[in-house]
Structures are given as C-alpha cells and as structure tokens.
Structure 1
Amino acid sequence: MSSESNVKLTIALSNPDLDADEQERETRNLLREIKDLDVESAELVAVTETPLGSKAFGAFLLGVLQAEVSVANCKKLLGFLGDRLGSKAIELEVEANGKKLKVKASSREELTAALEAAQKFVAVG
C-alpha cells in the first residue's frame, strides 16, 4: 500500500489539570491503545522544532502523537478517538491527498463535530 493512500493524523492532547508526568502517561496510554488498532504506524512526536506554546518532555512533544492509517481504517480510528477522548480538549490535524485539515475540540459536542469534519475531509480526498 502506498503512503499516498494513507491518512496521517496528529493528535495533541491538552489537559491543564495534569502535570508533565501525568500528561506523558496519558499520551503513552493512548498511543498503546492506538497501536492495538489496525494502523500503519503510531508514535510520539519527536522534538525537532518546538512550536510556540508547546512543551517538550524528554525528546518528545508533550501530549502529541502521530498515527498513519489507511483510508479504509481512518473512520475506525476516528471513532475510537471519539469514544476514548470524550470531552477532553484536543487538536487534531488530518493530512490526506496532500491537503491538511486542523480542528480543535474542548467538549464532546465539539469533538463529535471535529471528527465528522475529519471523516468528510478524508472521504472527499
């Protein structure tokens, strides 16, 4: 399968109530759960260039992970994120067919709308 037919997702978790260790633990738990799904790859995002306002933990961006998934399995991963993250604040960047969509959500309703927008974005590609 060529990587052009895959969808890349960058997921940034944001929970101001957690300290850096707790945030890292939550991110690693989510990463482990995503790896159990049918994804091409999933990993923490290495610090190469720290965006303004982000925090680095070790050699990785705190609370940020990436996954690459086939178009066929993208809906399943987005559904999992909706179930797993519920009302947590997240930023989701979806890259498919050379185009990017970036959405933010801080409630269950916003997350549902963001995931629907991401699914439509991938389907149109």
Structure 2
Amino acid sequence: MSSESNVKLTLTLANPDLNAEEQDREARNLLREIKDLDVESAELVAVTEIPEGAKSVGGFLVGVLQAEVSLANFKKLLGYLGDRLGNKTIELEVEANGKKLKVKASSQEELNAAIEQAQKFIADS
C-alpha cells in the first residue's frame, strides 16, 4: 500500500488543568493505546520546530502525537478517539492527498462534529 492512500493525524491534547509532565503522561498512555489499534505508525512529535506557545518535555512536544493509518482503518481510529477523548480539549489535524483539515473540540458534541467533518474530508479527498 502506498503511503499516498494513508491518512496522517496529528492530535494535540490541550488540557489547561494539567502541567507539562501530566500532559506528557496522558499523551504517552494514549499513544500506547493507539499502537494497539491497526495503525501504520504512531509516535510522539519530536521537537524540530516548536510552534509558538508549545511546550516540550524530553525532546517531544507536550501532548502532541501523530499517527498514520490506512483509509480502511481511519474510521476505526476516529471512533476510538471519539470514545476515549469525548470530554477533553483537543486539536485534530488530518492530512490526506496533500490536503489538510484542522479542527478543535472541547466537548463530546464538538468532537463528534469534528470526527464527522474529518470523515467527510477524507471521503472527499
């Protein structure tokens, strides 16, 4: 399968109530769970260029992880994230076929809408 047909997700856990270490731990736990799903790759985002306002811990951006997943498993991963992150504030960036979509959510309702938007975006790519 060519990586052209894969979808890249960048997920930022933006919990203002947690300090950097707690956010880092939360991201690492989520990463471990995502790796158990059928994804091509998943990792924390290394600090190469720090976006304005981002914090880093141990060479990685705090609370930011990336996953690459096949189109077939994209919906499954989004469904999992929807169940797991419904009440958290997150930013989700989806990249497919050279196009990007960025959505934010801070409630289950917003997350469901963001997931729907991401699925439609992928379907239209």
Q: Give TM-score scaled by structure 1 length.
A: 0.98
The SS at the match of 1:101 is strand
Indicate the RMSD between aligned Cα atoms, in angstroms.
Answer: 0.6
Provide runs of 4+ in structure 1 moved above 6 Å: none
Aligned residues: 125
The C-alpha deviation readout for 1:70-108, integer Å capped at 9, x for no partner, is: 001000000000000011000000000110000000111
1:37 maps to amino acid: L
Does 2:109 align with 1:109? Answer: yes
What CA distance in whole angstroms lies between the structure 2 residues aligned with 1:53 and 1:105?
19
Residue ranges of structure 2 left out of the alignment (5+ in a row): none
The C-alpha deviation readout for 1:42-96, integer Å capped at 9, x for no partner, is: 0000000000111111100000000000001000000000000011000000000
Percent of aligned positions that are identical: 79
Q: Give TM-score scaled by structure 2 length.
A: 0.98
Residue ranges of structure 1 left out of the alignment (5+ in a row): none
What CA distance in whole angstroms lies between the structure 2 residues aligned with 1:32 and 1:58?
18
Q: Within 5 A, what are the aligned runs for 1:10-89?
A: 10-89=10-89
